[in-house]
A and B are shown apart, each in its own frame.
Chain A
């Protein structure tokens, strides 16, 4: 799908207070946010985190398009009110257009298009993963290029981020995502839901050396991951025990988390070294996605980055998990490069980040191009 440059009179230059409404409905969360440039989050609402929408403690996924549809309008109204802006103040509307569940994505995209059409505003179809990838520029004003470890319940990949829409994949998971491995391990150890925090809490009380769990891919060349076998090893370790108490659960959780930390560090080390060669600089390493909330993993990756002479950055927790502020910000990043999308843009349930490159705008002035050697 081709991107349409904005007409001249519509174009706004960087720094004149561009305000964008962002919508996120691609998976479990219904979210709306208003973000402006220079970077400032005016409002950032995630439905499951609002007190009145916690009937099940916020653990049941809201996968149904119906649910997004029921809540999105009032959530937008509230996000606009909290931001202190009206539709007339907006410079654009951005919505996640994939990857994700087609029903949910449709609700967000149709709503954003309707607002854009009614108000004569540019519409931006945002790739959900690009939202995660660019968040660190909203929170820390980081320049391109950087190395991104994107780790969440559904994603696990390492990417070189060269600029808006310009991503080069270094590696990804061949089976389970990290967050999924945490959730399933929590289930296998009867630790409850959500699994990430449950495993982290238990692990803090446990002995990581008690169980020798596998560290899949450790020491191998490249930047790919595999976590399925680790999950199965947790299961077999539990079944091999004569008794299973809180102590065993804690020790297994600690052993599991230690394995994950070592594998992530090993893969990131390979990626940082490749990145240093290709871009002539050490990192920085950006860790994004829900798994970035795990303090033990963060600490391990920080140590690794420092050993490689690189900085490690991770957005604050509320912006690591799925949210709409990152979608609004990705919208701003595109709009200020003069890029928006036609109103007939079709949502894309499968939409790898590398596919963005073909519709990418010219590199931003802040994006240091990769040296010729890297462009093979």
Chain B
């Protein structure tokens, strides 16, 4: 179940279970386009990779089929690329990086030019982090299970945030 609440700071959601994570992923997948950057922030175990996995598998393959595939954690490989429509998804995990310059080695420019970028630990990007981005903050609620997700839009996303079909999801 997803509960959402709009605030001046963005949209706050309660993700009670995996189904809610998938519902959020589906809502995001419906509006994604080439060039988009989604920055996933949260501590270890907060669910960044789980949301990225749901999002990648919520997007169709280039041939239009919907076939889920394994989305392993990219912590050690640093980046994984998935062929998806409307654009390839570049899934970065910058946890192990120490210098923003290293991101260039991972194909950051190419990813920005052709793909949809999902990036975990975006703080490692420094000045490379574009203003046009959707920030998704994930954390554990003070009481009870599940996760809290806060969506904040920068640049074009301030408007696009309102177009997210979160009302199709059960709300509190």
Contact = CB atoms under 8 A, between A and B. Distances in A.
B45 A232 contact: yes
Contact of B44 (A100, A101, A184): A184
A126 interface: no
B163 interface: no
Contacts of B130: none
A235 B44 contact: yes
A180 B76 contact: yes
Interface in A207-255: 228, 231-232, 234-236, 239
A342 interface: no
A228 B97 contact: no
A63 B96 contact: yes
Interface stretch (A6-14, A71-79, A169-177, A357-365): A169-177
A62 B28 CA distance: 35
Nearest to B47: A232
A63 B102 contact: yes
A153 interface: yes
A128 to B, nearest CB: 11
A125 interface: no
Nearest to A181: B73
Nearest to B77: A154
B45 A231 contact: yes
A188 B45 contact: yes
A292 interface: no
Interface residues of A, number: 36
Contacts of A184: 44-45, 75
A27 interface: yes
Interface core residue of B45, B53, B96, B105 (most chain A CB under 10 Å): B45
B105 A101 contact: yes
A228 B49 contact: yes
B75 A180 contact: yes
A350 B81 contact: yes
A89 to B, nearest CB: 34
Contacts of B72: 172-177
Contacts of B102: 63-64
Contacts of A65: 105
Interface of A: 27, 60-61, 63-66, 99-103, 152-154, 172-177, 179-180, 183-184, 187-188, 228, 231-232, 234-236, 239, 349-350
Given A101-B105, A236-B140, 14 more contacts: A63-B105, A65-B105, A101-B78, A153-B76, A154-B77, A172-B70, A174-B72, A175-B49, A176-B73, A180-B76, A228-B73, A231-B44, A231-B45, A234-B45
Which A-B residue pairs are the 9 nearest by beta carbons? A154-B76, A232-B45, A235-B45, A153-B76, A176-B73, A103-B105, A180-B75, A64-B105, A184-B44
